[in-house]
């Protein structure tokens, strides 16, 4: 019986993985310019981390986590998102005591959620995210938004819309929470079971319900913007002012609700508009959080971050038919004819690679014509042809596969010649 890949997962093969590498490298470069440093956390954590950090009323905790008991009967969970793990590390390693603040981090890695697989939504997916911890300044909100919008722009994505909302501070949230309870309670029996359970625990999450989004009470639900106190309103205004200064356009949507419990003040999503995206148009989501660091055992510390799945970015790039620059697959392919020449190419191949040149050769005893075809398939920039006669005379033929020009050079200068042509002598 053949063994197949688990549902909701994927193999990323050569030919496709280069696109992933391009996106990841571009993201790392943008983070470098914004002075964000990489952090890598375990793929699994203690279950309590996500119950406390993500929130036990969220769909992630209630329905989507991959949780198991290890041999010591400890409850562990494959990470469903990145923020809680980053904050756990921030607290455990006492990063809040470092002299350079705020602490600005980014991460890339697989996340796991048990949900119905569909286009752009997998059970194992790769997430890129950013967290900035330790600053109350609205300018850091604008910086985080500028970072992700710059990344999308540099990747070539078009028709990308930034949607903003404010969830206010604790006082504003509580006033809005009571207004939502008063609004929905008389008719809560008309809503789904999840919404009924959320009414008292977290009524804000009712606004995020997909099943009841067309219910009449949704369209006229109390807006959080009407319940912002002076401090929260001023904070949101300052974030928008900074975005205006940076020339970053946005749309304010008072119904925007993030799916995690720890968000306060700025919340946002970045949407892809246009054909080819299906029902899911959200590319990225994030916001400011307060209380998460304390919940995990650290000092009172504000934070802001975002995350997106690389799968969604790839879908967007393909839907918009964006050309991704990919470097030539191979610098040099060695073609040999004769036993002595074949033996010599093993040495030449090693020396090319040691010099920093990407190179390969035939290992299947193919005829010369088939070796040239292999060089074409690998998109080799140069093909070097060595026969026993050339070896005897200490020369080798080098063909430029772009121009078709072929030259014969001394074997002793071959490595330097290819290095100069491909790496500029570096």
Q: Would you say 168 and 227 are in contact if contact means Cβ atoms under 8 Å apart? A: yes
- Find residue 106's DSSP bridge partners: 38, 130
User: What mean pLDDT do residues 280-309 have?
Assistant: 91
- Find residue 406's DSSP bridge partners: 399
Confidence check: pLDDT of 186 > 90: no
Residue 322 is predicted with a pLDDT of 82
Confidence check: pLDDT of 56 > 70: no
- Flag the least confident range among 35-39, 49-53, 76-80, 324-328: 324-328
User: What mean pLDDT do residues 22-43 have?
Assistant: 97
Residue 111 is predicted with a pLDDT of 96
Alpha carbon distance 152, 325 (integer Å): 15
Residue 7 is predicted with a pLDDT of 93
User: What mean pLDDT do residues 330-350 have?
Assistant: 96
pTM summary value: 0.86
> How confident is residue 260, by pLDDT bands cut at 50, 70 and 90?
low
Question: Tokens 């997909």 identify what position?
Answer: 210
Confidence check: pLDDT of 136 > 70: yes
User: What mean pLDDT do residues 173-183 have?
Assistant: 86
The 3-state DSSP composition of the chain as helix, strand, coil percent (nearest 5) reads: 40, 25, 35
Residue 68 is predicted with a pLDDT of 93
168: left (phi over 0), alpha (psi -120 to 50) or beta: left
**Could you say which DSSP state residue 226 is in?**
G
Tens digits of per-residue pLDDT, 237-257? 999 999 999 999 999 998 887
Higher pLDDT, 74 or 159: 74
Residue 384 is predicted with a pLDDT of 97
- CA of 49: how far to CAs of 99, 293, 343, in Å? 27, 11, 58
User: What mean pLDDT do residues 173-178 have?
Assistant: 85
Tens digits of per-residue pLDDT, 122-133? 899 999 999 999
Confidence check: pLDDT of 270 > 70: yes
> How confident is residue 275, by pLDDT bands cut at 50, 70 and 90?
low
> How confident is residue 162, by pLDDT bands cut at 50, 70 and 90?
very high
Residue 194 is predicted with a pLDDT of 82
Residue 33 is predicted with a pLDDT of 98
Mean pLDDT rounded to a whole number for the chain: 90
Q: Would you say 394 and 378 are in contact if contact means Cβ atoms under 8 Å apart? A: no
User: What mean pLDDT do residues 356-384 have?
Assistant: 95
User: What mean pLDDT do residues 51-60 have?
Assistant: 68
Residue 280 is predicted with a pLDDT of 55
By C-alpha distance, which of 109, 36, 65 is closest to 304?
36
Structural tokens at position 398 = 């080098």
Alpha carbon distance 76, 89 (integer Å): 16
Tens digits of per-residue pLDDT, 205-223? 787 777 888 888 888 888 8
By C-alpha distance, which of 374, 419, 381 is closest to 400?
381
């Amino acid at each position: 019986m053949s063994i197949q890949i688990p549902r909701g997962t994927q193999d990323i093969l050569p030919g496709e993985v280069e696109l992933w590498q391009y996106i990841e490298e571009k993201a790392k470069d943008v983070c470098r310019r914004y002075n964000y440093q990489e952090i890598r956390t375990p793929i699994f954590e203690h279950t309590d981390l996500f119950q406390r950090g993500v929130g036990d009323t969220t769909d992630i905790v209630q329905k989507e986590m991959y949780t198991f008991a290890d041999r010591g009967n400890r409850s562990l969970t494959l990470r469903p998102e990145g923020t809680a793990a980053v904050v756990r590390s921030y607290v455990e390693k006492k990063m809040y005591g470092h002299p350079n603040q705020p602490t600005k981090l980014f991460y890339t890695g697989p996340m796991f959620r048990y949900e119905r697989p569909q286009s752009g939504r997998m059970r194992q997916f790769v997430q890129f995210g950013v967290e900035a911890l330790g600053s109350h300044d609205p300018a850091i909100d604008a910086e985080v938004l500028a970072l992700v919008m710059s990344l999308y722009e540099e990747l070539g994505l078009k028709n990308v819309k930034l949607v903003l909302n404010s969830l206010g501070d604790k006082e504003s949230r509580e006033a809005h929470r009571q207004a939502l309870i008063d609004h929905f309670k008389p008719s809560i029996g008309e809503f789904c079971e999840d919404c009924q359970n959320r009414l008292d625990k977290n009524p804000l999450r009712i606004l995020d319900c997909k099943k009841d989004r067309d219910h009449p009470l949704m369209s006229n639900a109390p807006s959080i913007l009407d319940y912002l106190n002076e401090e929260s309103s001023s904070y949101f205004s300052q974030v928008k002012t900074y975005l205006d200064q940076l020339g970053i356009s946005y749309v304010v949507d008072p119904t925007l609700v993030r799916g995690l419990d720890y968000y306060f003040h700025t919340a946002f999503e970045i949407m892809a508009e246009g054909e080819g995206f299906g029902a899911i148009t959200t590319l990225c989501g994030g916001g400011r959080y307060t209380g998460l660091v304390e919940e995990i055992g650290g000092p009172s510390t504000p934070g802001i971050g975002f995350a997106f799945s690389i799968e969604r970015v790839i879908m967007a790039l393909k839907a918009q038919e964006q050309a991704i620059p990919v470097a030539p697959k191979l610098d040099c392919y060695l073609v040999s004819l004769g036993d002595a020449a074949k033996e010599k190419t093993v040495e030449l191949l090693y020396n090319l690679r040691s010099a920093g040149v990407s190179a390969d050769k035939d290992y299947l005893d193919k005829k010369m014509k088939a070796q040239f075809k292999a060089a074409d398939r690998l998109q080799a920039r140069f093909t070097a042809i060595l026969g026993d006669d050339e070896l005897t005379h200490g020369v080798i033929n080098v063909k430029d596969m772009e121009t078709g020009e072929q030259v014969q050079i001394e074997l002793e200068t071959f490595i330097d010649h290819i290095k100069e042509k491909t790496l500029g002598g570096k």
